[in-house]
Amino acid sequence: MPARVRSLTVLNTLVEVDGFKRPWSMEPFARRRVGEIYLRTLSKPAFRMLMGMQGIGDRSAVPNEELDAYVDLLKREDGGRAFLKIMRGFERTPAKRELYVSTLRDARYPVQVVWGADDPALRLAVHGEQARNAAGLEEVHTVPAKHFLQEDQAPAVAEHIARLSGSAAPR
């Protein structure tokens, strides 16, 4: 329903999915049996350490209680089966890539790319540039963050979104 979309902000995600290789922090979840064991043994302190290494740049911006909630949400009532299904279900096909590229390229609303400058999993120079190229943009807006920039730099991300949606006119 493109008529209901005012603007689109892309945050540290994949566009050219057919060339994606999972980072080390995701790979165990994608393996049968290993993923179940890895998730069962994932404690809140271990998750906080992982987020410090891979996901959150400014740990002071995200309280431990918020990070701990992620572990609860990952495991939920189903013991994490839904999460493991997501980790194993990345469709890395040329058709999916073309869908994502065309969604950005052919949008009838303003599009921007906002990226965590220090994302170790989806690197700005590779994945951010792929998103920028697909959308036909001049630049990628960056914030001082890793992968979870919406938690790490919420005010800065919100400012970018507000700026674009406030000036939203059809492309």
The domains found in the chain, sorted by start residue, are 2-20+91-166 (3.40.50.1820), 27-88 (no CATH)
Spatial strand order of the sheet with 8-11 comes to 8-11, 111-116, 141-143
Q: How many CA atoms lie within 13 A of 50 on its CB side?
A: 17
Residue 167 has what pLDDT? 67
| Distance (Å, whole) CA 48 – CA 34 | 20
Residue 1 has what pLDDT? 79
CA nearest 58: which of 160, 157, 163? Answer: 157
Residue 168 has what pLDDT? 54
Q: How many CA atoms lie within 13 A of 96 on its CB side?
A: 12
Residue 13 has what pLDDT? 95
Q: Residues 123, 116: contact at Cβ < 8 Å?
A: no
Residues 6+ apart with CB under 8 A from 40: 79, 80
Burial class (CB in 10 A: 0-12, 13-18, 19+), 43: exposed
Q: Report the predicted TM-score, pTM, of the whole model to 2 decimal places.
A: 0.84
pLDDT (tens place) for every residue of the chain, 171 residues total: 778 898 999 999 999 999 998 888 889 999 999 999 999 999 999 999 888 877 787 888 888 999 899 899 989 889 999 999 999 988 999 999 999 999 999 999 999 999 999 998 899 999 999 999 999 999 999 999 999 899 889 999 999 999 998 865 544
Residue 170 has what pLDDT? 47
